[in-house]
Structure formats: C-alpha cells, structure tokens
Amino acid sequence: MPETKLKRVFVANRGEIAVRVIAACRALGLETVLGVSEADRDSLGARLADRAVCIGPPAAAHSYLRPDILIAAAKGTGCQALHPGYGFLAERADFQRMCAAADIVFVGPPAAAIEAMGDKVNAIAIAKRVGVPTIPGSDRLQSEDDARALAQAIGYPCLLKASAGGGGRGMRIVRSEEDLAMAFASARAEAQAAFGDSTVYLEKFIERARHIEIQVIGDLHGNLCHLFERDCSVQRRHQKLVEEAPSPALSPIQRAEMAETALALAREVGYSGAGTVEFVYDMDDGRFYFLEMNTRIQVEHPVTEMVTGIDIVQEQLRIAAGQPLSFRQADVTIAGHAIECRINAEDAPRGFVPSPGRVTRWRVPAGPDVRLDTHCYEGYLVPPFYDSMIAKLIVRGEGRQHALDQMSAALAAFAVEGVATTIPFHRAVLAHEDFRDGRVTTRWVESEFLHNWQLAA
C-alpha cells in the first residue's frame, strides 16, 4: 500500500472474521493487534496477529462489547485504526464516535450513516424520501390499538418487527386479528431483551419472498460503487445459512434497477466504506422492497469476492487509509457463480442445538475454486460463549449448476469430528430439487425442507 499514516490496525472481533481481517491487513503490509477474551487466547487469530492482548473474561459483555476497553487496547498498542468486523460493536455509532475522539480511524462508515440506517424505521423513512420502494408498513407503533388499526389498513398477513435491530429478533408473523394481541406483546418483549428497545412496527408480510441484497462500497473521494447482489434466501429463524451470487431469480434489468436503488440510498446518507442494502423480492410479482441497510462488512461477503475478484476487506482498509477504491464501476463484472454454506457447530437433526467442544478431526476440502474462511483447526476447543459458526465454505463454478456440483463435492469431502456440524444439513439442501432449481423462498427451510428432512434422518 502506498505511503499512508496507517501502519497498525486493531482487530476488535474474533473467530473467522478476525482471521479474515488479519489476512487482509497482512496482504497490505499492515501490522495487526488482536483483542482476545480469555476464551480466545489460544485462537487461530491470536497466533496470526502480530500481537494479541487479553481484553477480558470470556463473556462478550465484559470483553468484545466493551468499547472503552477496546479503544484503550488499540491506543495502548499503538494502533491507528480499528476494524470492528461484524456483530458486536460494528454498527454502534457511539463506538465510531469514541474511536474518532480517541484519534483512531474506525474502519467503517461515518457515525451519522450508521445512525441513520441503524434505526430501521428511520431507514425506511429515508428510503421513501429517495424514492426507494418500501414494503407497505407502519411507523413506530404506539399501542396495541394503533397496531390493530394499521394491521387492518395494511392487510393480513403482516409482520411485527423491532425498530432497534434485526437478525430476526423481535419479529412475529400475524395471520389474523385474533393473533395480534399476543404477537404484539411477545414481539415487544423480545425486542426489549435483544436491543433494549421494545419499539415495534408493522409491515405487509410477503408470503413468497427471496432475500436479495446489494453490496455497496465507497471511498472518501466520492466514488461509490455496487458489487452486484447476493441471494440469501435459505434461512432458518431469519438467520442466513446458504448464500449465493448472483441471484438465480433476477433478470439483468431487475439487477440493474436494484443496484441503482441501493446506490441512491447509500448516496443519500453520505455513505463510505462497505455496506449492504437488503431487499425483499416478491416472487409472485417480481417487485422488490427495501428491507434494511447493514453498515458493516457482512458474513457472506466472500461470494461477492469470488465472482467479482475484488477483495472487499482490503478495500475497507484502503478506504480507511484515505485511498480511492482500486477499481471503477465499469470494471466490475460477475464471472461465474459462487455459493457459500455457513458451517455451524450445531446438531441440526436435534433442533440445531449448539455443540461446543474439542474438534478431534478437521479434514477440509480444497481446490482452485474452493475457499474456506475459518478459525478452526484440529484440536481447537469450540467455546460455548459465542455464536456457533465455525467455518464458511465457499465455492465458485462456471455457472450455477457447476457451482452446485462443486459445493456438493466440497461438502462431501469435509470431515469434522468432536463437534456436531450442519454439514449434513447443507448436503441435503444442496441435493434438494427446490434449491437446485433456484425456487426457494425465505420460509422454505422451516415450512418445507426441515420437516421432511428430519423425518428421513
């Protein structure tokens, strides 16, 4: 990287994304310091970073979620920038501001953009202002009566959603007026527990939907580009399990429209850094609606990297160092098709119950178009304190069919013992006709696939 004041980066995250960020820093000749909780002292990230500092006990609340500790660690180790990864404090505008006040470059968008998009109701209002289509819905609900009246207007089925956060928490489907009272109370309770804010709003519920999102990335010189879309329709409890790029559902015109819409929104909030604009795509009429914008690097970024050849994390670091994007929009093309499977340490046939423990066997697939983003190794103790994702398996094929075959082969070659994994689940999904034909909806796993698969198992 050409001369810049950025020499050392503090990595304020863990697991596979910590490994990913360290690798990107290394490629750019940047030194790395990783903050680790006691449970992660012996992690792969700790071994790869130039230095690892212990930031607290295992519980995230006392370590990875402590902005003051992270900043003290970054300053104390001479870092000029901090990469927050995803989750944890990545979308906390106050954390971004604290970094700025401490003269540390936050690898991410400006605090104002994080704030604008962080409140989901506010983000929808901004989308409307720019002419981005939004799902027919309500503003923040003041009361159950308010909810009842608005649900009447929007029509059933509808969806109650938390205003302060996503990830499927604080969400309830309401199919009829009689279900409303209970759904309202329970959505509010869950939202309060998950985000400290019980505010919910209503949205029309689209029965047959696909989740399609556009990757955007912008530098501090006014260049804002999109890197096309990802389709993340294979979900369970609103958690993505399989993602692919490009989407098998979009026509070229729809793709271009969605991309332009995403850019318009990003431009409106003065976006810089990497971000993702998520849409709900109605399979019944081909229309799409703005869902939310995530102002951070996403878990599934590798599928975009595999088909565009652009290293998004490296671009993030370059942007943070004040450099322009290393490409122009006209240079961005999609070559081939990529699929990612999120491998979790969970026992899928038993309700996806987490399965922490020591990995006694870790035989991984490999090949020119196979990529494994992971922090695991043979002998690693998967800790019980954090989310259960242990690896992301990504493949690229010449076209979708080839990618499907590549993924099936890669999954078949992936042998893990000591912890249960969702590899068998993924193998079954990849073999399923619905998925292979590209016609799954966001409710497919729960309403069609799981029941039959668990019966057969």
Closest distance to other proteins from the beta carbon of 56 (Å)? 5
58 is an interface residue for other proteins by CB under 8 A: no
Question: What is the DSSP code (8-state) at residue 167?
Answer: T
25 is an interface residue for other proteins by CB under 8 A: no
296 in catalytic set: yes
Residues 88-107 vs other proteins: string with x where CB under 8 A? Answer: ----------x---x-----
Specify the stretch interacting with other proteins by CB under 8 A; choose among 46-54, 196-204, 232-240, 409-417.
46-54
Site size with other proteins, rule: CB under 8 A: 22
Longest C-alpha distance within the chain, in Å?
Answer: 64
40 is an interface residue for other proteins by CB under 8 A: no
- With a CB cutoff of 8 Å and minimum separation 6, the contacts of 428 are 449, 453
Q: At what angle do helices 93-101 and 67-76 cross, to 10 degrees?
A: 30
38 is an interface residue for other proteins by CB under 8 A: yes
55 is an interface residue for other proteins by CB under 8 A: yes
HSE-CB at 272 with a 13 A cutoff on CA atoms is: 19
- In total, the chain counts a number of residues equal to 457
Enumerate the H helices of 3-118 as residue ranges: 15-27, 44-48, 67-76, 93-101, 111-118
73 is an interface residue for other proteins by CB under 8 A: yes
Closest distance to other proteins from the beta carbon of 374 (Å)? 24
Which of 287, 286, 288, 386 minimizes the C-alpha distance to 277? 288
Specify the stretch interacting with other proteins by CB under 8 A; choose among 30-38, 196-204, 356-364, 389-397.
30-38
Closest distance to other proteins from the beta carbon of 78 (Å)? 4
54 is an interface residue for other proteins by CB under 8 A: yes
The nearer residue to other proteins, 78 or 367, going by C-beta atoms, is: 78
Contact between residue 22 and residue 44 where contact means Cβ atoms under 8 Å apart: no
Q: What is the bridge-based pairing of β-strands 346-347 and 415-417?
A: unpaired
Determine which one of 66, 172, 296, 371 is catalytic: 296
Which of 271, 22, 227, 264 minimizes the C-alpha distance to 130? 264
Q: Where along the sequence are the contacts to other proteins (CB under 8 A)? A: 8, 31, 33, 38, 50-51, 53-57, 63, 68-69, 71-73, 76-78, 98, 102
